[in-house]
Chain A
C-alpha cells in the first residue's frame, strides 16, 4: 500500500509538471531568459504549488504522525553553509544548460526521448560524483 501510494503520488506530481508544461525545456528557458520574450508561467506554477503545500503541510504535520511511518522525516539543518550556496549555484547553472530539472527529467522521457534519458543518465553520474569530491 505504501509503495502503491508512492506511485500514485508520483503520478500526480508528474501530471502537475505535464499540465503546467514544466516538462518542456522551451518553457523553462523562456522563463530564465529575461531579455527575450519572457514567459512568467514558472512563477505561477511555483506560487500555486507553494500556496497549496503551505496550507496542506500545516494540516498534515498537525496530525502528529504520517499514515505509513512512525515519524515525519524533516530536514533538521538550519545553517546556510557553503555547501548549500555552492550546490544551489551549480544546480542553477545546470538547470539553465539543460532546461530540465530532476522531476521534469523523469516526466519528459515519454516525449523527450534521448534528450531526457541522456539528461537523467548524466544527472545520476553527477549525483554519484558528489560522493567522490570533498567540498
Chain B
C-alpha cells in the first residue's frame, strides 16, 4: 500500500463535499456530474448556462493548479484508448439508466441516505472490482 495517499485524499474529498453542499445551498441541486452533463445534451429552456459553467469549472481545475504550481496533475493511463472509449460508452449509458454516477449516487445520494443511491453504489463498486479482476487476469493487461 505504498501508493496510498490518505492526506491528499481527505483534503480533496473535503473539497468535493464543500462543492456539493454549496451547490445544494445555492442552486438547490444534487452535484451529480452525469446528470449535469446529460442536461447539456438535451437542453431545456433556461437550463443550459449553469450546466456549461459547472463543466467549464471542472475542466478549468487542473489549469488553475498549473497556474499556481507550474505543473499539470499526473495522468497515467492504464489501458489503451479503445478500451477507455468502450468504457466511456458504458459509463454514459449506465449513468443515465441508473440515474447517477460516482458523484450523484456515491457522494450526494449517500449523504442523503437514499436507499437507491446506497444500492447503486454497492452495485457499481462490486461490478467494477469484478471487471477489473477479469481484465487483470485475462492476460491482456496483466
State whether B84 touches A115 (Cβ < 8 A): yes
Taken residue by residue from 29 to 61, chain B's Cβ proximity to chain A (1 for < 8 Å, 0 otherwise) reads as 111011001100110000001110111111111
Chain A at the B interface: SS class: helix
Q: Chain A interface residue count: which class? A: 35 or more
- Chain B residues within 8 Å of chain A by Cβ, number: 109
For the complex, give the distance between the alpha carbons of A27 and B28 in Å.
31
A123-B22 contact in complex given A10-B58, A40-B1, A99-B78, C-beta closer than 8 Å? no
Chain B at the A interface: SS class: helix
Taken residue by residue from 74 to 117, chain B's Cβ proximity to chain A (1 for < 8 Å, 0 otherwise) reads as 11111101011111111111111111011101111111101110
A85-B87 contact in complex given A33-B136, A91-B124, C-beta closer than 8 Å? no
Contact pick for B62, options A20, A108, A126, CB 8 Å: A108
Chain B nearest CB, measured from A30 CB (Å): 6
State whether B88 touches A123 (Cβ < 8 A): yes
State whether B135 touches A60 (Cβ < 8 A): no
State whether B56 touches A42 (Cβ < 8 A): no
State whether B53 touches A118 (Cβ < 8 A): no
List residues of B whose CB falls within 8 A of some A CB. 1-6, 8-31, 33-34, 37-38, 41-42, 49-51, 53-66, 72-79, 81, 83-99, 101-103, 105-112, 114-116, 119-121, 123-129, 131-133, 135-137
